[in-house]
Structure 1
Amino acid sequence: MLKRAGDISAQKSGLRAMARERRAAAHAACPDAGARIAANLLHSVPLPDGAIVSGYHAMGDEADPLPSLLALAAGGHSLCLPVTPKRGLPLSFRLWRPGDALEPGVWDIPVPPASAPLVDPSVLLVPLLAYDRAGYRLGYGGGYYDRTLAALREKGRGKAAVLAIGIAYAGQEVESVPREETDQRLDWIVSEAGAIRTDG
């Protein structure tokens, strides 16, 4: 018997508190996780030449993608950062280079200024609360990355047009993330312990 979307949403809500605790513990246990993640990403995940890579500004105890972004920029990739829109819409992305000024966005998350060019990334580094090896992630409940990946994949005519990489601590892995029809799979999960190619 298929579970209703409301039941799955309730399951996700119940998991978030536990996932936040596990992420906080993983963050405290591995202060150099960002550098380890960068090494694993560069070593294990093949990125398209010239791909525009979207990162994010780590908040609180999120796994930090900045070392990865700096290494990718040094390797010739252009970078961008997401800008949170009104609820119900996908993210937009503004070009960003290391050292460029940022300004407060929604929830005071730093974003490039409105004068920065809008771009469509072909690689996304994605934050999360929990993940499973099938490539599903537990996010914060807003659905922004699911809508964004769906829109970019539709625009690029297929999943292969966009590479979605979850950035996480190994301790955030769970056996199975409750999933809805609108949930988009990640192609890779990269943590301080290694890189997982999902079966998505």
Structure 2
Amino acid sequence: MSDLAAEKDAARKAAFVRRKTAHAADPGTGAGLLSSLLAGYRGVPLSGYMPIRTEIDPLPAMAEASAHGPVGVPVIVAKGAPLRFARWEPEMEMESGVFGALVPVRPVFFEPEILIVPLLAFTISGGRLGYGGGFYDRTLEALRAKRPTLAVGFAYAAQEVEALPLEPTDQRLDLIVTETAVLDLR
């Protein structure tokens, strides 16, 4: 294991512990702040995510946004490939996908211009530590090559760290929404 890989592994382990603690104390205010941000982008195609483990829950904000335009969820199609995004609506039929995240039973794919991104840790400069598969980095790079694409990190404030072991291929976040604040990093 390279030094950077070992650093990332250690950072992920520490981040999982911080997120689990924050999740246990979640006041449930994050989705409201996320909705307030998304209200300024009504009708713009966006993707959220189906929360797993101790991820902060974007579903109420996604449901509200779906009344104004297309909302999707990520679908992992292959290791090493960018994500695809399937249209999502509240109450639609879902099934377990890769890593246990729910995906639509009958996916209709589209390209979002805003991605609500789950994470393990973030820095105030827009650095993001994910699970290590590189899915969001590859996806954001491909989408940003076509058109401006906003990456909105959604996390608990306790997930902020001073520094992260990052690589040149790691895509930066444009905004971060926590249960206490909306941070515009542009």
Return the TM-score normalized by structure 1. 0.87
Q: Which amino acid aligns with 1:82?
A: P
The answer to whether the 8 A contact 1:130-1:138 is kept is: yes
Secondary structure, aligned partner of 1:98:
coil
Deviation at 1:44, TM superposition (A): 4.2
- For 1:1-200, what aligned pairs fall within 5 Å after superposition? 6-32=2-28, 36-44=29-37, 47-74=40-67, 76-113=68-105, 115-156=106-147, 161-199=148-186
Q: Distance in 1 between matches of 2:36 and 2:88?
A: 24
Q: Distance in 1 between matches of 2:162 and 2:171?
A: 17
Secondary structure, aligned partner of 1:21:
helix
Q: Distance in 1 between matches of 2:107 and 2:25?
A: 37
Report the more deviating stretch, 42-51 or 92-101.
42-51
Secondary structure, aligned partner of 1:12:
helix
Identity %: 44
Unaligned runs of 5+ in 2: none
- CA offset digits 1:74-124 (Å, max 9, x no partner): 3x12111110121111000111111110012112321012x3311001111
Q: For residues 142 and 41 of structure 1, do their structure 2 counterparts lie closer, same or farther at Cα, with a shift above 3 Å needed?
A: same
Q: Distance in 1 between matches of 2:97 and 2:31?
A: 26
Q: Which amino acid aligns with 2:153?
A: G
Unaligned runs of 5+ in 1: none
Secondary structure, aligned partner of 2:73:
strand
Q: For residues 182 and 89 of structure 1, do their structure 2 counterparts lie closer, same or farther at Cα, with a shift above 3 Å needed?
A: same
The answer to whether the 8 A contact 1:52-1:77 is kept is: yes
The answer to whether the 8 A contact 2:52-2:100 is kept is: no
Q: Which amino acid aligns with 2:78?
A: K
Deviation at 1:11, TM superposition (A): 1.0
Return the TM-score normalized by structure 2. 0.93
The answer to whether the 8 A contact 2:39-2:65 is kept is: no
Q: Distance in 1 between matches of 2:33 and 2:98?
A: 31
